[in-house]
Chains A and B, each alone.
Chain A
Amino acid sequence: MSDQPVDYHPMWAELGLDLPMHDALLEAVGGMYGATFMSQTNRPEGMGYLDFVMSEVHGLRIKELHDFRKAGGKVVGTYCLYVPEELIRAAGAWSVGICAGAEWAYDEVEQILPRNTCALIKSMVGFKLGKVCPYLEEADLLIGETTCDGKKKAYEELGKLQNLHVLELPQMKREKDLAFWRSELVDLVATLEELTGKKVTAESLKVAIKEVNDKRRALQRVNAARAADPAPISGLDSLLAVQVAFYDDVPRFTQMMNALADELEKRAADGVGAAAKGAKRVLITGTPMALPNWKLHELVEKAGGVVVGEEMCTGSRYYEKLVDEDATTIDEMLDGIAAKYLDINCACFTPNEGRIDDVIRMAKELGADGVIDYSLQFCGLYEIESTSVDAAVREADLPVLKITTDYSAEDVGQLATRIEAFLEML
């Protein structure tokens, strides 16, 4: 590595980014990262890797994607964890989760989406309209999904601007839904094969299943270590690990996370914590926190608490379940993939009782003192499901704090008071 910082502006220009705005975004995110992450104390050494990845978030990683595409490779952008990364990899493409975790170009977004659309969807469209996301511009294909009405309709707008394939996700989990979902995956395979010009084979799919499972296993280890008191890693750092999992190189990330897990297991055994022993422990459940949305974790941990788990798409739902590895034929593998993905417990399903079981089980396993039920404003699915989730959590004798917010900073004063009061109550 040379000492001279690389100037990526020519690459960004090639991608058609709005350079002055993109510079402003990078500066803002860099500033947030410094203030939020680098001010933490007693961090595990293994976080150095994620610090480096974040410092090169639009640099080195984009260069990798850029070089891959120049050599004929294809990049596929996704917005949701129902999109099977295994299929993308088996077709020879790379999968990148497109982040949608900051307010950007809302003035333009609100010309095509109503103001009362959730922050995630507005951000998703804003990054495209504002031309500030190099991942989006590197994507040869975007895969959307019908997880909620807002996303479903927003994809129609996004599809006018970029090559897009939409997966239809069922809303129930019956046998016939599983069969339908599997047929959607078969169609996706055909789309991907056409994109890359490569066949998905039993061999390539088997390798992809193993690689992605290994990534999940590494994250499972990182997160299991959080059960220790003191917690060996902060909630912020753990959240970041899952956020990065969506777009980093799979084998490299797996290796680094296993190294981090080794360190965390040792810290846990030695009683070394990122938070103080006895710090109030919080489990967060709810809507995903896309990069760079660190608002809630930062508030909890600045108030002296520690987040010990996330029952959310940027959390346990991403890594907890594995695809069956014993299948030998493509058909069997597709069965396994369809079953695993349909088994994720998102509020877009009805009923969604599995989520309640997950929340209570995780709270017990991780020794949580309380649960924060987090929802982005205007996410009807999660805001309504709060009623049954919160009742079940109280039933299990755990205090719960319900928070509805967005990406803006306008409510942080009030949120800080509520979160501090919640921690004082525990």
Chain B
Amino acid sequence: MSAYFENRAIVVPGDILYEGRIRAGNNTYRMGGRVYATHVGLVEYGRGVVSVIALEAGYMPMVGDIVIGYVVDIDVGQWIVDINAPMNAILKVPDAMEVPFTPELVMTEFLDIGDTIVAKVVDLDRRRTPILSILGGELGKVDEGLIVEMTPSKVPRLIGKKGSMVSMILKETGCRLVIGENGRILIQCADREDEELIVSIIRKIEREAHTTGLTNRVHEYIMRMRGVKNE
């Protein structure tokens, strides 16, 4: 029974993380009494569990996630939505509008191919295809703003512990942010310069996601960029 790495060391797939009785957590797999990593990331030895915080990982839809998607196709009674996942998601008419579906309904008048939506994953069907809904506050079609993409596994860093990072950014810039768990972020600011500042902040967080004291550094960064702007 032994650990092979220090806590929060960088590991790559195939690295043996632990030998002996332990639960294999996120981004690990067990084979022959050993636990191996499946992603590049930081290893975390918890109580009776070993896991890897992935630095590169795709998005896997889960029920309850808020995602930002693009309508890519229209079927009878449903829109097909690209949500940056291994499979496209489905948005059915009853999950999109209050009116019932009738053959007379012109679906493109409500949502057309190329439209952007903020949606919630409400279900995974038996083929694990995500089912979306845009009924409810904050959800629906997006008409303005800027969308940037980041690695989905680094989204928790943008949010911070109990939302500390994102609330700090919102307080300092006064912008509106919609963070999709699928790595797409919608930015709505009063002026263009603030939007560009937020894009550079997101790039910084993405680059430095595996370092400590990030919230403080981002705060300093905003102050510095703001100082430059005000001069």
Q: Do A and B come from one complex?
A: no
